[in-house]
Amino acid sequence: MSRVGVFRHVLFLLFMCYCVESCVQKYIQVQVPEMLEPGYVVSQVNLDDCGDGPLGLISSDPDFTVQMDGTIQAVLVTMIPEEGRSFWITVHDRKGHRWFVDVILSPPGQVSSNAVLRRSKRRWSPPPFSIKENDKGPFPKQMEMIASDSSVNYSVYYKIGGSGVDTPPMNLFSVTRNGMLSVLRTVDREQYDKIVFTAYAYNTHSDQQTDDPLPITVLVEDENDNAPEFAGPMLYAVQEKCPMSTVVGKVIATDKDQPGTLHTKIKFTLRNGTDLFKIDPYSGEISAITNTLDRETSEKYILEIEIRDMAGDPSGLFNVGRAVVSLNDINDNPPTFAQPLYKGQVAENKADVMVLRIPVEDRDLKNTPNWKAVYSITKGNETGNFNIKTDPVTNDALLYVTKPLDYEKQQKVNLEVMAQNEVPLVGTTSTWQKVPVEVQVEDVDEGPEFSTSILLLKVKENVANGTLIGTYTAIDPETKSNKDIKYYKLTDRGSWINVMDTTGELRTAMTIDRESPLVYDNTYNITLKAVDRSQKSGTGTVVILIEDVNDNVPVITKPDQVICSKDVTGSSILIEANDLDQKPYSDPFSFELGSGTDGQWKITSTTATSAKLQPVVALPNGQYQVPILVNDLQGFGKEQTVTVRVCDCTKGGVCAPQNLSTTLGVWGVLAMLLGLLLLLLLFLLCAFVCSTKGEKMAMLDDAVDGGMLLKSNLEAPGEEVKDELILISGSGEMMDFSKGTGMLEHQTQLSSFDTGFGQKQNFDSMRHNSIQGFMTNTLPHGQYSTGTYGNSYKKYSTMSTMDGWRENMIQLDTKLAYFREDADTRYAEDILKPYGYEGVGSPAGSVGCCSDLAEKESLDFLDSLGPKFKTLSDVCTSK
């Protein structure tokens, strides 16, 4: 071993005040295998004599550990050399006593002879030693003596350095030259639990270090000088009605003293609230010991908690804190109604009005789903009149009427309203509450109501005036009777219907005409009003569906036609007819030629509503009246005349203009003559009437109002004069001539007469084709004719002054006929004489003359009329 060697046994420690007998054996010698596994139990230190309380056991060899119970174990795989291996165990108790146990391991079969010797060498290695914290002194307090191995051969002195000396904690230790270590002041374990400094040994003479520096470890022993403290906020929450043993939370406490010792072993205690909660004494966990925690009783609990170290020993230090346990709400309370019944009122016929506000109470946390109410109507909304809403602020139920109620049907509505929350109920046995609600419907005086808002009536057109077509009545909804209700028309565009104000009977006031422009789609609407005594009213509509009857004959739409004289036989005209009625009272029409056409014309049907009219023979220029019978599908029709002009045409298909004389022709001249003749006759008649006292016949001296109708199927000249537009025909059918649609034939003829003595004079001769008297032909035809017009009537319009003339002419005719029949032939010379028709061969045509010779002078002017008229006058004078 070198002089300044690496010293395994450098220092030895001197025991300062330890004179206590050892409680453990001095050494343990065991045989072990050459190789030890980790955990191999080598031996055990017998600690039986060391009394109670914890002991510190430290192994000097890191390859081996020693347990609290003294068991020595290998830590790693450890080889045991042939000469064996040894170390020692330090045992120290709380009072600071310390003992050493040498452990000598020898491989199998060998027993070391110098074991004891070696042991004595090794025990000088320095074990860690300790000082007490918070030591009150007095200081400096001697701790231990150190000595180096070299002190055997040299005179040495000692120095220390490092932490606890010249680095913090400064000035804690000091050493005397001879090696006495002292503690200079109090130390706090919570600040420095272990201090390591270095000891140096110097040769007194040479001041050379005689040994390697030795680190010395000083442990600071703990004293229970810190009370436990609470850590973190002590706020906890748990649901109300939670089951028993539900953990609320854990109280956390700390203690600065040495962990793992009683100084830091904390016991938790609940100081109050122990009927509801408990705390685990060592983990600090709070839990409920009941399932009846009720937020509605107490929202939170404050618990006083004590923490005490030394495992709760009264000598331990303690602290008291407060934990707050809040209860979370659950929906354990349904909304409840205060009253057993609610009543409301609403006027009938009112919609979207609030009827009632129903308050509820919910003890759960306000404005949470546990509190918010949801209402429903469980009974009484079968007709859908109600709705219910929640007041978002007060949580009240708001009952509305959304569909009007009718007092006459229901005076009181019984509802049942249920209140729920937005979330289901939990943790309670109670259920959702229902409450009956009575809504009283208030009566409001209402106007009468028609039995139906639209009444449909079917009526045949042309029914007689005053026909009852139906009854439209209304009743008062309050009294359910139609007493004192009056009916009025609101609209009736044609004033066709009369309504009986007391009964609501509807009668026709006018002819119902389906073909009227007031009728759309076969319907005619009127609206009625029903008014009760209090002047309240209701309205209704009557839709009259008009059924068609065959009251219109087909009418030729264009009765005046032209044929150009060139190529007369080849050309044709299209005759079209129209019937206002509906099918089957309308087309297809049948077209037939009337009588008296003498085979000059031919007619062929082309379409359902038209036919082709063709001349069969070459016709001279002139006007031709072609009677055509047009019947509808029902065979209902009449003969109508189509006037065909045969003329020379211009290029456009119209007649070329002609000069007046040729236009007038023979007939024109005769017609003029007739006018003069009539003037003369009038004069004569006047003279006669004034000069005789004979029978007088009234003369009309001004135009007749409203025209006149003559019956023409009498043999005698017309006598009946009716100032009426309507006549009853033989068949008793109603004929309305005022409409211009019926019996057009007559009007056509009349108009041709009206428009003059000129071009359009209508001569019937073509039709009759027989020689007739001059007067017969020139007077309005049909007057004396009996054949052609059988059962027909005439009407003369009052439009022109010609009517007056015509009237007088008729009267004259009557008079003259009377004269002719008179036995006394005084006036025989004055009467009318028929003359034959000479035909076209005569240069003057056919004339008739009844002028008196005595009047010759007054007819002198006729001389200027030309040769034709001369001939005529010759005829007259020769008689």
Ligand X SMILES: *[C@@H]1O[C@H](CO)[C@@H](O)[C@H](O)[C@H]1NC(C)=O
Residue closer to ligand X (CB basis): 194 or 357 = 357
User: Does 3 help bind ligand X (rule: CB under 6 A)?
Assistant: yes
Q: CB of 683 within 8 A of CB of 765?
A: no
Output the smallest distance, CB 517 to ligand X, in A: 11
The tokens describing 640, both together, are 């109508």
- The owner of tokens 């057993």 is 340
Taking residues 71 to 110 in sequence order and writing x for each that binds ligand X by CB under 6 A, - otherwise, the string is: ----------------------------------------
Residue at shortest CB range from ligand X: 384
Taking residues 679 to 718 in sequence order and writing x for each that binds ligand X by CB under 6 A, - otherwise, the string is: ----------------------------------------
Q: Tell me which of 120, 451, 465, 650 binds ligand X, using CB under 6 A.
A: 465
CA distance 395 to 733: 82
- The owner of tokens 């240069």 is 843
Q: Tell me which of 319, 328, 525, 797 binds ligand X, using CB under 6 A.
A: 525
Q: CB of 573 within 8 A of CB of 644?
A: yes
User: Does 142 help bind ligand X (rule: CB under 6 A)?
Assistant: no
Residue closer to ligand X (CB basis): 157 or 763 = 157
Output the smallest distance, CB 799 to ligand X, in A: 21
User: Does 523 help bind ligand X (rule: CB under 6 A)?
Assistant: yes
Residue closer to ligand X (CB basis): 437 or 844 = 437
User: Does 291 help bind ligand X (rule: CB under 6 A)?
Assistant: no
Vertex 242 angle, CA 241 and 243, to 5°: 115
Q: What one-character DSSP code corresponds to residue 703?
A: P
What's the Cα-to-Cα distance from 492 to each of 372, 498, 499, 505, 547, rounded to whole Å?
Answer: 60, 9, 11, 15, 19
What letter represents residue 71's amino acid?
T
User: Quick one: which segment of 308-316, 336-344, 376-384, 811-819 binds ligand X (CB under 6 A)?
Assistant: 376-384
User: Does 149 help bind ligand X (rule: CB under 6 A)?
Assistant: yes
User: Quick one: which segment of 149-157, 159-167, 348-356, 787-795 binds ligand X (CB under 6 A)?
Assistant: 149-157
Output the smallest distance, CB 150 to ligand X, in A: 5
User: Does 467 help bind ligand X (rule: CB under 6 A)?
Assistant: no
Q: Tell me which of 68, 79, 454, 654 binds ligand X, using CB under 6 A.
A: 454
User: Does 381 help bind ligand X (rule: CB under 6 A)?
Assistant: yes
CA distance 135 to 264: 20
Sign of the alpha-carbon torsion through 516, 517, 520, 523:
negative
User: Quick one: which segment of 301-309, 705-713, 816-824, 841-849 binds ligand X (CB under 6 A)?
Assistant: 301-309
Output the smallest distance, CB 119 to ligand X, in A: 19
User: Does 520 help bind ligand X (rule: CB under 6 A)?
Assistant: yes
Backbone region of residue 367 per phi and psi (left: phi > 0; alpha: psi in -120 to 50; beta: other values):
left
Q: Tell me which of 6, 19, 117, 152 binds ligand X, using CB under 6 A.
A: 152
DSSP assignment of 477-504 equals TTTTB-TT-EEEEEE-TT--EEE-TTT-
Output the smallest distance, CB 692 to ligand X, in A: 45
What's the Cα-to-Cα distance from 506 to each of 306, 460, 498, rounded to whole Å?
Answer: 103, 14, 6
Exposure on the CB side of residue 253, measured as CA atoms within 13 A: 31
User: Quick one: which segment of 297-305, 354-362, 706-714, 768-776 binds ligand X (CB under 6 A)?
Assistant: 297-305
Segment holding 811, helix H or strand E = helix 802-821
What's the Cα-to-Cα distance from 315 to each of 52, 224, 254, 312, rounded to whole Å?
Answer: 19, 10, 18, 8
What's the Cα-to-Cα distance from 270 to each of 173, 277, 319, 595, 687, rounded to whole Å?
Answer: 46, 8, 12, 137, 156
Strands 555-556 and 590-593: unpaired
Q: What one-character DSSP code corresponds to residue 683?
A: H
Q: Which of residues 722-781 bind ligand X (CB under 6 A)?
A: 734
- Bridge partners, 87 (sequence order): 103
Give the total of residues touching ligand X (CB under 6 A). 30
Q: How many helices and strands in the chain, by DSSP H and E?
A: 7, 54
Q: Which of residues 537-576 bind ligand X (CB under 6 A)?
A: 541, 543
Strands (E), 280-317: 285-288, 300-308
Q: Which of residues 304-323 bind ligand X (CB under 6 A)?
A: 304
Output the smallest distance, CB 6 to ligand X, in A: 12
Residue closer to ligand X (CB basis): 464 or 698 = 464
Q: CB of 602 within 8 A of CB of 685?
A: no
User: Does 153 help bind ligand X (rule: CB under 6 A)?
Assistant: yes
Q: CB of 306 within 8 A of CB of 319?
A: yes
Output the smallest distance, CB 246 to ligand X, in A: 17
Q: At what angle do helices 660-691 and 802-821 cross, to 10 degrees?
A: 60
User: Does 386 help bind ligand X (rule: CB under 6 A)?
Assistant: yes
User: Does 1 help bind ligand X (rule: CB under 6 A)?
Assistant: yes
Three-state DSSP at 664 gives: helix
Residue closer to ligand X (CB basis): 193 or 736 = 736
Q: Tell me which of 143, 288, 377, 677 binds ligand X, using CB under 6 A.
A: 377
The tokens describing 760, both together, are 């359009």
Output the smallest distance, CB 232 to ligand X, in A: 19
CA distance 574 to 557: 10
User: Does 272 help bind ligand X (rule: CB under 6 A)?
Assistant: yes
Taking residues 499 to 518 in sequence order and writing x for each that binds ligand X by CB under 6 A, - otherwise, the string is: -----------xx-------
User: Does 293 help bind ligand X (rule: CB under 6 A)?
Assistant: no
User: Does 464 help bind ligand X (rule: CB under 6 A)?
Assistant: yes
Output the smallest distance, CB 690 to ligand X, in A: 43
User: Does 378 help bind ligand X (rule: CB under 6 A)?
Assistant: no
User: Does 388 help bind ligand X (rule: CB under 6 A)?
Assistant: yes
Output the smallest distance, CB 367 to ligand X, in A: 23
Exposure on the CB side of residue 458, measured as CA atoms within 13 A: 3
Output the smallest distance, CB 319 to ligand X, in A: 15
CA distance 502 to 487: 6
| Chain residues in the site for ligand X (CB under 6 A) | 1, 3, 149-150, 152-153, 272-273, 301-304, 376-377, 381, 384, 386-388, 454, 464-465, 510-511, 520, 523, 525, 541, 543, 734
